Structure formats: C-alpha cells, structure tokens
Structure 1
C-alpha cells in the first residue's frame, strides 16, 4: 500500500511540476478571459493572408492553430474563444508589447533589438534579404545603387539594413518607404525606385502575382539572414515554453514537412500560386535541432 501511495504521490508531483513549467501571466489571462488573441497579416502570403471569404489563413496561422490547441489542452478549455486581430508591419510589435496580441502569427524576424520589447518562439522559417530590380537596370548589389532611390517596407529589418549600409558605406541612397510590401513594390514598378530590398520569399511571392515577372530579377547576393518566429509577450517564460514545445513537437514528429509542402510547394488556397520553394538547408537544421537564436550566423 505504501508503495502504491508513493507511486501516486510521485505521479501527482510530476504532473504539478509539468503544469508549473507552463505557468504564465499570459496563460492566466487567457484562462480568466476565455479568449486568446492572434495577430495576422492581411496580405503576406504564404505566411498570413485572407482567403476568398476574407478569413485569415497561411503557414504562420496554421502553426498558431497547433499552438492554440495546445493552450486549450493545457488549460482544459476546449471552448476557448479565438480572437483574430489584423496587424501591419508598423503595428505588429507594439500590439504584442502592450499585451493586445498574445501570438503574432505573421512574418516577423527575430532580432536582438526586437527582443527588448517582446519575445519570440522557436524559429519557424529562415529567409534572406535580397534586392529585386528590373533586369534592364543591371543591379547586382548595393554598390550598384550608389546615389539612387531604393525602396523597402516600413518597420522591417530590410529598411534598417538599407539605412545601416547607407551610413557605413556612404552610398548616398535615397530610401523610399512603402506602407506595406505591395506599396513598396509599386515604387519599383513605377520607376520611382531602382530596386526593392526585402526578404527573398516575399519577393518571390510578389513576382508570382505579376504578368511581366520575367522583366525582374532577384539578386544572387543575400545581405542578411532572417530567422522568422512567432511574436510573444516578453518575460513570460512559461508561455514561451509551451509555444516552443508545441513547435518542437511538430518538428520532432515530422508533421512540419506536410505543413511546409502545403504552403511553399503546393498551389496556395484562394491564390492558385505555387512558390515551388524547397525547404532551405538552414531551416532543415532548425527542424533537426530547434533554436530560437536571433544571431544570423547561427543559420549560415
């Protein structure tokens, strides 16, 4: 009898320790309100965009769907309400930082600077910043843009890269800022900008949407590595642990392979466009050994 009691007690203590490992202010808020808030982007396919019925879908949202189910299970709240809030490049991080959004399920790079105001999950994708230009312009790198206008999107790592390169290399760039990716791309299309600096996967997606894609080229040279992650409230280790374990489980069980193929190697729902983008070697390494590193060198 004593042995049985000891076994039951050990099991209870193990369950309690597991529950405490995921204890967090965010989870308490979700439990008390019965609502979890997800931020999404309206036009950042394949990561987050609206389908023909104006419902948010995409790779990042599917990952957040798995996280939401894990939260429901952990809190024993299958009836948990899901509230979806549209965010932009400019509003996504402030809304996470002030607690308005619990999970930012869009397309955001994890950086040390951004970690000052919010946390990030395990890496969910690895992109690289490149230049998009018209073939006739002969742009191969930033040096070819000396003294010329170049576009990027507001509140992105790409715009920061341009400002830093402009300062360090005295390029004399005229940096034009788009309010979103399509707005920045229009600056290139109209000839107001000679090139558009942005993450390669997003540039590929934009080119799939135009009839004259052959008139443009993406630079072979990459200027930075961009580890994407889901945005989380800062200083909430328990919530981050639950999110990271959910993603690591998808990676460990191999479920990420089908999820990746659905959004990067198949016709996109409501768009019919196919990026035909194999998983990069950098992201394969993340899947094999999950990391939340913000250091670009970790992914090279």
Structure 2
C-alpha cells in the first residue's frame, strides 16, 4: 500500500467529518455515474422491483474515512458509497434516491437476511462462511489486514507475530477479529474501528487491526497520532453483499462492476475518494459462481 504525498490537506478535510448513525438519503456529487433512462428488466427480478420502486436500500459503514464516512452535511461519502451509486444508476435510480443505513460488522448478514437493506457495501470481505448465508458480487477491491500503532511505534511492533499476549483492538464480528486470534488471545472487540482509537491513545491496547485501507483512513484523519505498519498479512477481497442465491441480481452487479472497470468510472470513483491518500490500484477480476 503506497500513501500519496500531501496528506495534510486531506487530513484537515477528513478531520472535520462527523460520525453519525441512522438512515439518510445521499445527495449527488460530481462523480455520480449517469443514471440509466427507464431501464427494462425481466418481471419478478430484484432489478425490476427496485427500478419500479425508484429507490434502493444500501448498508454501509459510517465511520471509515476513504470508504464509508458520514460527512458533516449528513450524507455518507467514500469509495463504497460510489460503488453503491454505480449500481443504483444502472437501475435508473439517482443518488439522492438511495437510502443509506449504517451497517457495522456484526449486523451485515442480518440486515441482508431480514430485508433491512437490499445491498451491503461496507468493506465486506468475501469468505466461505459468509457465503453460507448471503451471496456476494465482486470483488471490487482487494485489501490486506495490517496493524495501526502509535506514531513512532513505541512498542516496536513489526507484524502480528509480535503481538503474543499483547492487547489488540478490532471490531466484533469482523474477519479481522478471527484472523488476529491466531496471534493473540488478548483481543478487545469494539462496535466500530473508530472506537478502538482511544484505547490505542491511552495504551490500553498496543495496536488496532483491520484492513490496511481502513487503517490508512484512520491515520490520515488523525494526522501525526498513528501509523500503519504497511505489512499486510492477509488478502481481503471486498464484495457487495446481497440476498442468498439471488443469481440474477448478483450477475447484474458483476456486469455493472466490469463495465465500470472498462469505462473508467471505477477509477474515477477511487480517485475522488480513497485516491486522496492511496495510489489507484488495478481493479480485481470479479468472481462468478
């Protein structure tokens, strides 16, 4: 993971963001994809239902700079938000007709299963356990789990192997929580990653662990306080979660992602969000199953 120069400017902008909860409608931005004009879908499909309704419900994170963060204006912003707008636009749904809900790691599967949301786009790692209860389109990005430590790394941590019996904070129900338990049993589980920052500041934990892009956003938002080791020890393919075995909808989203790769809208979405801090990567190939 390579960080861009000039992070002071983006840190100032991100530091002003507020972390809120609940539901909201998103306003349009200059990077919004063109909205399809009266698209037609086969009757009975999820696409037809959503297009007819003219709205879509999407769960995302509200506390993760660069990917999903609630802005002071009350609208979420970030790369995950832009992915949701791309899908909505192909359904003929404008950005301001998306209903966003905060989806923390522990409630993503229940939100999909009980119909609280139509999609979850929330730094959501695709894995076989989750695929037993929900389906995934994508991946649309591949991250890697890493460690966030205090600036200057006073505990001299170089990787997860240095964490034996040391306290580490992550989010309950996340892939990161399961992964880090292979290195330490002293895991403090919080509801959100932002809630892990104060324990790190106070010394109650020696590190925060999750995907490198999430940690990079937190470090950028709190300039000078923390640093990312930049030594990822897993691969985390981010997918778009949807109802189990909704094959038509999954194929539609995968088609939308591949079109976004080809026409440059995926790269534009990255550059307007996470690209303020991170270099533009190559998009991953979607996996159809």
What is the TM-score when the length of structure 2 is the normalising length?
A: 0.77
- Aligned CA distance change for structure 1 residues 234 and 258 (closer, same or farther; 3 Å): same
Q: How do 1:1-300 residues align onto structure 2 when only pairs under 5 Å count?
A: 19-20=41-42, 25-27=45-47, 29-30=49-50, 33-72=53-92, 81-134=97-150, 135-163=153-181, 165-166=182-183, 171=184, 173-213=185-225, 216-266=226-276, 275=277, 277-280=278-281, 284=282, 286=284, 290-292=285-287
Structure 1, unpaired ranges of 5+: 1-17, 267-274, 295-300
Q: What whole-Å deviation, never above 9, does each CA across 1:48-87 have from its counterpart, x for those lacking one? A: 2212211122211112112112123xxxx88995322222
Match of 1:14 in 2: none
Distance 2:286 2:56 in 1: 25
| Alignment-derived partner of residue 24 in structure 2 | none
Q: How many residues matched?
A: 248
The offset of 1:34, in angstroms, is 4.9
Confirm or deny: 8 A CA contact 1:140 1:220 kept in the other structure: no
Secondary structure of the 2:106 match is coil
**Once the two structures are superposed, what CA deviation does each residue of 1:246-275 show, in whole Å capped at 9, x if it has no partner?**
111010122222221111223xxxxxxxx1
Distance 1:45 1:80 in 2: 21
Query: How far apart in 1 are the matches of 2:98 and 2:165?
Result: 48
Q: Contact 2:168 / 2:188 at 8 angstroms: preserved in 1?
A: yes
* CA distance, structure 2, for counterparts of residue 142 and residue 81 of structure 1: 43
Q: CA deviation at 1:28?
A: 5.0
| Partner of residue 9, structure 1 | none
Matches of 2:200 and 2:232 in 1, distance apart? 19
- What is the distance in 1 between the residues matched to 2:258 and 2:212? 25
**TM-score relative to the length of structure 1:** 0.75
Matched residues in 2 for 1:140 and 1:201: separation? 18
Unpaired stretches in structure 2, ≥5 consecutive residues? 1-39
Conserved 8 A contact 2:146-2:209: yes
CA RMSD in angstroms, aligned pairs only: 2.5
SS in 2 for 1:230: strand
Alpha-carbon offset, residue 102 of structure 1: 0.7
Larger helix fraction of residues: 1
Distance of 1:43 and 1:24 partners within structure 2? 35
Q: CA deviation at 1:24?
A: 5.6
Provide closer, same or farther for how the CA distance between residues 258 and 36 of structure 1 changes in structure 2, counting only shifts above 3 A: closer
Distance in 2, matches of 1:30 and 1:285, equals: 27
Which whole-Å CA distance do the structure 2 matches of 1:262 and 1:79 have between them? 16
Indicate the structure (1 or 2) with the bigger Cα radius of gyration. Answer: 1
Q: Counterpart of 2:10?
A: none
Cα distance in 1 for residues equivalent to 2:145 and 2:288: 18
